[in-house]
Structure 1
Amino acid sequence: MPVSKGEALKSRFFAKRLVSGWLAGVVLSAGLCHAAIAQTSDLVSHNALRVCADPANLPMSDKAGAGYENKLAELIAAKLELPVTYTWYPMATGFIRNTLRANRCDIVMGYAQGHEMVLNTNHYMTSAYTLVVPKTGDLKDVTELSDPRLKGLKIGIIAGSPPATHMARNGLIGKARPYNLVVDRRHESPAVDMLADLAKGEIDAAILWGPIAGPLVKEGYPDLEVTPLMKETLPPRLFFRITMGVRQGEKVWQRKLNSLIRRNQQEINALLIDAGVPLLDDMGTSRLESTQ
């Protein structure tokens, strides 16, 4: 059917409007994508690896840089060809709010996988709670909390930590000595106190998170032995995968760190094993004795 000159002009007009609208949409989408990238990366410093850390949290971190998380930060910074700077804050209530979320720093070196307060990188280590006992004596080869040799003993435990549930299930709570869970390490050191009590014979055994127990025992308690609790089959689980934590939404930064972890995993393992951290496989069922 013939098309009038007026209808043809009208069709061209609407076609131009359609193309213009499409182009505007492309430009808008590009702008939004650019804005999203800016939002997820511009807050991260390009001049330094800005680390959020506890100033008195050995064996993990301290102001002197003696902790293994300090050394891990130095390793990551070297790969990025950046210096390390710190925002110090006690690892207690308000830590993430006053450091990472306040944009005062860009990374927490150690954070449990799945924690909602941060965006987790891929994990760089798996470890577990451990039983610490004297190297000589009846407990040196105990590997699980159901072992009858633990009955009636005075065992140190961080109150509210996952192993406490297993202790209760196995009838070990009655004589347990509890130590505080959330403290300001500048004024109180429950893990250090627990190991000191064990060394003095005030308690018979200690249950501690492996990445704390292993390095502390290696550094100062040659007569104690650290055994990862890998045989507990009932919940709660006693092994955890540890990641680096970044701000929620910072996917660009997360991916960059994931790549660094993947490419340098053997070097990270070597650093942690040298510190005395008991490393396990991803399922928490066997110990990594070397980096191979």
Structure 2
Amino acid sequence: MTSAGRKCWLSIFVVTIIATLLGHAPARAQIKEGGDLSIELVDPKVLRVCADPHNLPFSNDKGEGFENKIAELFAEKLHKKLDYMYFPQATGFVRMTLAAHRCDVIMGFPQGDDLVQGTNPYYRTAYALVAKKGSGLDEVTTLEDERLKGKHIGIVAGTPPATNMAVNGLMVNAKPYQLMVDTRLESSAEAMMADLMSGKIDAGILWGPMAGFYAKKADPPLHVTPLVKEKTGPRLAYRIGMGVRAADQNWKRQLNRLIQENQPAVNKILLDFGVPLLDENDRPIGAETATKTP
């Protein structure tokens, strides 16, 4: 075989192999309309979101959570169809969804968690103390407050504020709730708020979005105080962004642009769900300041 013949055969062989690979793995590499090659998204025409089907206020399979609403907003802006890969948000969630290329974005992920690559944050919030209005505990702003001594306080076991409670001697009378539950069957946050309303506990400590959501739903509404004045134990305020695969740099940049361009609309969704939004100086972000970035 001549040198030119060998080159021709090699070119045909390489093209054939590439075509075969693409044919067997269409989710990993697809050609968008207009010739734009995407090796990052499961389907360039669809915004595929990794989500828990039973985890309000974040998401559910009825589209009722604030992460569902933000996903709808982004799908509209991207001119894409919206679809979900649902899986309980427990051990194995990232491995079974994002890492398995069954979806392309986790709508809420704490900044700094190395399980995924994070986008820029789109909100900042904190663990919060929830109490009945007029109870006296609705005026408490830190777990060092003497008014909490001897009180029965609900706490989700294994969460950062449990350390703060222990440092301040509040665990003796605390009522723990499970961190990892089957969200199809139970909710630690919902159980804690039910106990607060019935008087089984005097106050509860929950992650901000849960605290705000359930406090707003209660009748009468409960008081929520973000715990941003703690002097001992871990800080309880966190920035939340979206999670993508480590290799998906272009997708990350696109999401960052969407967050920046739509921050006021995102803030409105979060506030509508009762999420206690905070700026970088731990000041609350209300409707009048919701156009600011976190």
Fold equivalence (TM over 0.5): yes
TM-score (norm 1): 0.84
Question: Alignment partner of 2:252: what SS?
Answer: helix
**3-state SS of paired residue (1:262):** helix
Correspondent of 2:157 among 156, 159, 165: 159
Change (3 A) 1:111 1:41: farther
Structure 1 residue runs of 5 or longer lacking an equivalent are 1-37
SS of equivalent residue, structure 2 residue 239: strand
Matches within 5 A, 1:78-93: 78-93=76-91
| TM-score, normalising length: structure 2 | 0.84
Q: Could you tell me which of 143, 147, 150 is aligned with 2:141?
A: 143
Equivalent residue letter for 2:61: K
Bigger radius of gyration among the two: 1
Instruction: Say if 1:128 and 1:41 are closer, same or farther in 2 by CA, change over 3 A.
Output: farther
Distance in 2 of aligned mates of 1:73 and 1:279: 19
Q: For 1:194-240, what per-residue CA distance to the aligned partner results, in whole angstroms no more than 9, with x for missing partners? A: 00000000000000000111012212343411111111133311000
1:140 Cα offset (Å): 1.7
Q: Is the CA contact (8 Å cut-off) linking 2:116 and 2:244 kept in structure 1? A: yes
Give the distance between the partners of 1:136 and 1:223, measured in 2 at CA. Answer: 11
Gaps of 5+ in 2: 1-28, 31-36
Match of 1:97 among 95, 98, 105: 95
Give the alignment of 1:178-197 within 5 angstroms: 178-197=176-195
What amino acid is the match of 2:88? P
Q: Deviations over 1:123-162 (max 9, x none)?
A: 0000000000001222121111000000001100000100
State how far apart, in whole Å, the 2-side matches of 1:187 and 1:93 are. Answer: 16
**Where in structure 1 do 4 or more consecutive aligned residues deviate above 2 Å?**
38-41, 219-223
Query: Which residue in the other structure is 1:264 paired with?
Result: 262
How far 1:119 moved relative to its partner? 0.6
- Range that drifts further, 121-130 or 135-144: 135-144
What are the superposed Cα offsets for residues 254-282 of structure 1, whole Å, 9 maximum, x if unpaired? 00100110111111111111111000002
Distance of 1:140 and 1:269 partners within structure 2 = 25
Aligned with 2:196: secondary structure?
helix
Count, aligned residues = 255
